[in-house]
């Protein structure tokens, strides 16, 4: 636990505990990319850090634990496709499955093109939100042109 965060000693801790800690300490952050892929079940990998999306002009959060990977965005790319879930009694803001896949293509230099393609395949296989939601998220992220060839090849 970080300074200022408390819990009962016998409280049940889940694999998403670090997301709840980050949401409590950085309420303006949105969980994204690899961390959101894990929450949505679109990857088998467990990220080594919590990936968060913050405003382009916001101050970068400083936490001793857990380790953060900060991604910056502004405008529609920051606010489109954000949902709220409750994790261990804490409200956690995270990107929707469609927005998460679109973000993987937008930030492919950070996560890798192989991760983005695997996320797209898993998204299409599980039909998490439909192709229309994915196209809308890609337009919000301004990566529709880059995503379209992969989408056409897989659908």
pLDDT tens track for 52-96? 999 999 999 998 889 999 999 999 999 999 999 999 889 999 999
* 139-106-76-153 Cα dihedral, nearest 10 degrees: 20
Which of 124, 7, 18 lies closest to 67, judged by CA?
Answer: 18
Answer whether residue 7 shows pLDDT above 70.
no
Q: How far is CA 108 from the centre of its chain?
A: 13
pTM for this model (two decimals): 0.89
User: Domain segments of the chain: what residues?
Assistant: 17-154
Instruction: Name the more confident of 154 and 128.
Output: 154
Q: Write down the mean pLDDT value for the chain.
A: 90
pLDDT at position 1: 46
pLDDT tens track for 9-29? 566 666 788 999 999 999 999
Both structure tokens of 147: 């995503």
């Amino acid at each position: 636990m970080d300074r200022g965060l408390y819990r009962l000693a016998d409280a049940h801790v889940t694999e998403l505990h670090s997301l709840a800690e980050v949401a409590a300490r950085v309420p303006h952050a949105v969980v994204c990319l690899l961390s959101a892929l894990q929450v949505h079940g679109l990857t088998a990998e467990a990220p080594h850090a919590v990936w968060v999306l913050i405003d382009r002009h916001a101050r970068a959060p400083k936490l001793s634990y857990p380790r953060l990977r900060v991604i910056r965005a502004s405008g529609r790319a920051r606010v489109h496709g954000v949902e709220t879930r409750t994790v261990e009694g804490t409200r956690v803001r995270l990107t929707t499955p469609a927005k998460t896949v679109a973000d993987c293509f937008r930030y492919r230099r950070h996560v890798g093109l192989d991760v983005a393609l695997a996320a797209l395949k898993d998204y299409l296989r599980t039909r998490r939100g439909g192709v229309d939601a994915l196209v809308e998220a890609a337009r919000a992220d301004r990566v529709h042109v880059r995503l379209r060839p992969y989408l056409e090849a897989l659908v």
